[in-house]
Structure 1
Amino acid sequence: MNRKVGLFFGTFNPIHIGHLIIANHMAEFSDLDEVWLVVTPHNPHKKKNTLLENHHRLEMVYKACEGYEHLKPSNAEFSLPQPNYTSTTLAHLQEKYPTNEFCPIMGEDNLKTFHKWKNYEVILENHEIYVYPRISGGKVENEFKDHPKIKRIAAPVVEISSTFIRKSVKEGKFIKPMLPDSVWDYIKLMNFFK
């Protein structure tokens, strides 16, 4: 039987409890069998100089996923040419794991610009998309509003950003509750974001 795998993409710079809450909710409260947290090597829309090295971000995702049976870290995009696009990753994974059914996971705010994604029609044709709510998302009133391939999952809304975490660490704030303990320890050990 095909396994349904949700793909939760992110730079995870660093991964925080907001990411885990959404990923775990998708794994537990939808028909997905598991969720892969796909570490993005370099998002074309983000300045690269704020990103920690790929292996450090992947290590933090590994640490964060420990103890979660249905969450898996993934470095699937590390070997793909950069800048990479979701459509390329999906084609790559489908070829590598032909019995899996891959479903991208995105925040509702991303749905508003989804029509600008490279090969978005191909993605929609071949994959279901799982959407979680965002406070900043607003309502989507375009062609995707009632699309049969788009599944809305009423996940908790957690407005924590990695940017806020990096800034807070730099300012010496104690923000341990926003991170899995192992990730907080790793950031302290490696002296990141100072």
Structure 2
Amino acid sequence: MENRKKIGLFFGSFNPVHIGHLILGNYILENSDMEQLWFVVSPQNPFKDKKSLLKDHNRLDMVQLAIKNYPKMRASNVEFSLPVPSYTIDTLTYLNEKFPDFSFSLIMGEDNLGSLHKWKNYELLIEKYQIIIYPRISDEDKKDPVSESFRLAILQHENIHQINAPIIELSATEIRNMIKEGKNVRPMLPPEVFDYLDGSSFYK
């Protein structure tokens, strides 16, 4: 079991993928025993409105462009063929069956912890998989006593690992709004992604 290839799964809409995603992904690869990091492009998040999402294949294209110079990173479209809405535990079960020689870990922001108890089969998720938590400034959950007590309790679990990654509070929503308003977003995006969007009408 120890010889299984270690893969970190970074789920997201990546709408669009930005430099914050790459900085975080690279930090995790350089400061853990992960051998690869997969950006799993989600077709639909059960907690998000789908209307603002760019088409699945466009978001996948952008991730592929963004990571082309990072040999340990992959873009995954695994959820495109799974039932929608996609639930993390179902995707992990599918990946485990498809890649029995791989050991998968989940990468998530600290801001997700307080609401993890709302996820499908969250107990199974925590028992079966390592979860790597990166810091986020957002403290919405901390205002809710139930979410906060759950967050503090779950941090004690042996499969939950906090990492001291740099906090990059770049928002894809803000980037989309800036594009819509004709503002310059070049510093926030990998150059290939900027060029891809600049030559299109996406988000405008």
| TM class, shorter-length | over 0.9
**Residue in 2 aligned with 1:176?**
186
Alignment of 1:98 with 2:100, yes or no, is: yes
* Corresponding residue SS for 2:23: helix
Picking from 51, 57, 63, the partner of 1:55 is 57
TM-fit CA distance, 1:189: 1.1
**Residue in 2 aligned with 1:116?**
118
1:40-51 pair list within 5 angstroms? 40-51=42-53
* Corresponding residue SS for 2:74: strand
**Does the CA contact (< 8 Å) of 1:30 and 1:153 recur in 2?**
no
**Residue in 2 aligned with 1:133?**
135
* Corresponding residue SS for 2:79: coil
Alpha-carbon separation, structure 2, partners of 1:101 and 1:176: 36
Picking from 156, 159, 176, the partner of 1:146 is 156
Gaps of at least 5 residues in structure 2 are 143-147
Alpha-carbon separation, structure 1, partners of 2:155 and 2:161: 10
Report the identity percentage: 51
Alpha-carbon separation, structure 2, partners of 1:190 and 1:58: 15
**Residue in 1 aligned with 2:88?**
86
**Does the CA contact (< 8 Å) of 1:105 and 1:131 recur in 2?**
yes
**Residue in 1 aligned with 2:145?**
none
**Does the CA contact (< 8 Å) of 1:16 and 1:162 recur in 2?**
yes
With normalisation by structure 1, the TM-score equals 0.97
Alpha-carbon separation, structure 1, partners of 2:134 and 2:47: 21
- Runs of 4+ in structure 1 deviating by more than 3 angstroms, as ranges, are 137-141
Alpha-carbon separation, structure 1, partners of 2:75 and 2:13: 12
* Corresponding residue SS for 1:190: coil
TM-fit CA distance, 1:145: 2.0
Alpha-carbon separation, structure 1, partners of 2:120 and 2:191: 37
1:55-97 per-residue CA deviation (whole Å, 9 max, x = no partner) reads 0000000000111121110001000011110000000000000
Alignment of 1:37 with 2:39, yes or no, is: yes
How many residues align structurally? 194
Picking from 162, 171, 175, the partner of 2:172 is 162
TM-fit CA distance, 1:141: 4.3
Letter in 2 for 1:162: A
TM-fit CA distance, 1:147: 1.0
1:20-35 pair list within 5 angstroms? 20-35=22-37
Alpha-carbon separation, structure 1, partners of 2:86 and 2:184: 35
**Does the CA contact (< 8 Å) of 1:60 and 1:186 recur in 2?**
yes
**Residue in 2 aligned with 1:6?**
8
Alpha-carbon separation, structure 1, partners of 2:72 and 2:149: 33
